[in-house]
Every structure is written in structure tokens, then in C-alpha cells.
Structure 1
Amino acid sequence: MLLTRVATVAAALMVSATMLAPSAPAAMRLGNYDLLTNRYTQSSWAWFVAMCVPRDPNCVNVSGITRLNFYAPYNSKAFLVDGRYSFTVDMPDGLRCIGYNLPTRDTYTWDEVSLAGTIESVYDVGCFNGPPGTQFWTFALQRL
């Protein structure tokens, strides 16, 4: 009789543990972040991360601004695929040349857990009418 009760309790605990098991890691926390990167030298960046509308658990809206208003701001939806968030923006001043700027297409990709990532910046024409190219930088997000 005691063995039957122990088995019943054990089975009930296993069922409840399975039903109450922690879900997959939570989506990226919403709020403000420092964008720590080796790309920009004139100003630091801050991101405001908000939920996408309509609500999608695999999407966050990212608004990037510089603290000194030196670079063009951007806004984009970042989508989570295989543990990495990613978005692409067209930057009117992404390539800094002596005396002028050129446009780039920048892709930000980062890990949902470590918040470390890369920036890939592609341009059609280089400084002083140079060849097209791609530049890479690293970054980390630090929650404020």
C-alpha cells in the first residue's frame, strides 16, 4: 500500500514538473541599451528596444540615436532566428570620408543571450571614388 502511494505521488510530481517546466528563454528585455562598439569615434549610441506592433515574440523594434546627435538616427524591426536577432538599415552617413560622408547598408546581428554581435557595412562606392566594399565591426549591448 505504501509503495502504491509513493508511486502515485512520484508520478504526480513528474507530471506537474513536466507541465510547469520553464519555457524557452524569454525574449530580449525591452528598454534602453548602450551600444558598445569600435565603429564610431565621434559619439556613443543608445538603443531603445520596444515590442513590435502587432505583437510578435520573435520581433523587437530598435531605435538607435547618438548622444551627441552626430550621426543619423535609425529605426528598424529586428527578428529573432536561430538564437540571433538581425536587422538592416540604410545609413546616409555610414562611410566617413575626409570632408564628406557616403551611404552604407548596415546589418546588425547579435546573440539573444550574450547580446554580443557584429555590424556588416556595405557600400557601393568608396571614399574618393574608390571601389565598393564591406567593413565589419563588433558590438555588445549593455542594458541601462
Structure 2
Amino acid sequence: MSALVKAGALSFALGVAVACAPAASAASGYGNFDLQIQRGTDYHTYIWVVSSCANPAPDCELITAIHRPIAGNVSYTGEAHLFDGQWVLAVDIGEGLICGGYYGQNIPTHDVFTWDPNTLAGNAASASDIGCGGAPGGVINYPFVLTRL
């Protein structure tokens, strides 16, 4: 993944975090959450297991994404950090962009998830070097909601 695409995705996500940061508590809360990404072109469904980081701190949550048994999903893990009242998680996903339906092409992405700890609503900025069908790469934004299970 190019440094330019990664930097663009992170800059966008941090800009959203700064612009939209309401007064918020420090933690979303440990537990299991259904990640509902609102996009109609692929089949990503996950459960996020939120726990403490290896070095526990109030501004760090360990996110373990467990894919549900649907084609093209891969699990991932990363640390989310509190930034200006918003949680920010940056991860590389080997099959982050699925093109052409259930058995379509899979493209690696660098995804930056930003969400409000009170509403559990946020944005996933998904960056790739190339797009579906050889289209130019870039950043695609997807709204999402976390629901405690």
C-alpha cells in the first residue's frame, strides 16, 4: 500500500475525528460488538471483541475483529486510541475490498475506523492502491455502527 494512500486515509479520519469530536467518555466499553458497515458492494460482517491493550491505559482498547463465515472476510487485530474524544483504529486488511460479489476479486486495504464512544457510530476510511477492475486506488468512506451483543 502506498504511503500516500495511507497518509491520505489517516489524515481524513483524523480530520473527521477533530471536526466531529463531542464531549465523550474515555471508553466504548469492553465486550462484544456487532460491526455493521453500511456498504452494499461486499459481504463484510464482523464481531469486534473489545478488551484492554497489552499495556492497559484509559485511552487504549484492543480490537479483535472476528469475521463471520461469509466469503472474503479475514480477521484482524489492532489497538484503538482515543484522540480528541473519538476512538481511532488503523489496520491493514488483506482482503479489505471485495469486488464483483460473493466470489469477486479481493484487494488489500488500509482501513481507519473512527467512532464516537457514546453513540458507537463512526466512519471507516478504506484506502487501496488500486480499485475494482483495475480502477485507480483511493479512499472509500463507509459509515458504520457498533451494537453491543
Q: Do the two structures share a fold, i.e. TM-score over 0.5? A: yes
Letter aligned with residue 145 of structure 2: A
How much identity, in percent, do the aligned residues show? 38
CA contact (8 A) 2:64 2:75 kept: yes
Unaligned runs of 5+ in 2: 1-23
Equivalent residue number for residue 140 of structure 1: 145
CA gap of 1:26–1:92, structure 2 versus 1, over 3 A, is: closer
**Looking at CA atoms only, which structure, 1 or 2, has the larger radius of gyration?**
1
CA RMSD of aligned residues (A): 1.8
CA contact (8 A) 2:26 2:59 kept: no
SS of equivalent residue, structure 2 residue 61: strand
Question: Cα deviations across residues 101-127 of structure 1 (Å, max 9, x unaligned)?
Answer: 111111100011111000001111122
CA gap of 1:51–1:130, structure 2 versus 1, over 3 A, is: same
Equivalent residue number for residue 33 of structure 1: 33
Residue in structure 2 matching 1:112, options 102, 117, 121:
117
Question: Cα deviations across residues 77-132 of structure 1 (Å, max 9, x unaligned)?
Answer: 00001110001111111121233211111110001111100000111112222211
- Which structure carries more relative contact order (alpha carbon 8 Å, separation 6+)? 2
Equivalent residue number for residue 87 of structure 2: 85
CA contact (8 A) 2:60 2:81 kept: yes
* Count of aligned pairs between the two proteins: 121
CA gap of 1:131–1:34, structure 2 versus 1, over 3 A, is: same
Equivalent residue number for residue 130 of structure 1: 135
Normalization by structure 1: what TM-score? 0.77
After TM superposition, which residue ranges in structure 1, 4 or more long, deviate above 4 angstroms? none
CA contact (8 A) 1:49 1:62 kept: yes
Normalization by structure 2: what TM-score? 0.74
1:59 aligns with 2:60: yes
